[in-house]
Amino acid sequence: MIAKTPEPPYYAVIFTSVLKKTHEGYSEMADKMEELAKLQPGYLGFESARQKLGISISYWKDLESIRSWKQNTKHLLAQKSGRENWYEQYHIRITKVERDYHFKTI
């Protein structure tokens, strides 16, 4: 669901990807990495959706938290598997959230 994030500024990592036709083991690893990310210092939230294109957004307190998560040993192994086995292509964008707005019906 929509992540409950604090007042800006904070950071968002936008990960857009296209999977290979066969990608056995991908979903299990994605779930594992989502669980592991939640335990990292500075983690603020996560959102994802996939049709042909997959979009995953993770929210972080600062750039240092993003750097640490990128270098996490289990995450490094998952990244390697991703490049070798699962992703046809991906794009990662490191962004700073400057403003946000929320709308909700009663």
Residue 38 makes contact with a second copy by CB under 8 A: no
Indicate the residue type of 78. Answer: A
Residue 71 makes contact with a second copy by CB under 8 A: no
Task: Give the full edge-to-edge strand order of the sheet including 10-19.
Answer: 10-19, 54-60, 43-50
Residue 14 makes contact with a second copy by CB under 8 A: yes
Which residue in 27, 31, 48, 74 binds a second copy (CB under 8 A)?
48
Residue 76 makes contact with a second copy by CB under 8 A: no
Q: Quote the least distance from Cβ 20 to a second copy, whole Å.
A: 8
Rounded-to-integer distance, Cα 96 and Cα 56, Å: 16
Cβ atoms 69, 40 nearer than 8 A: yes
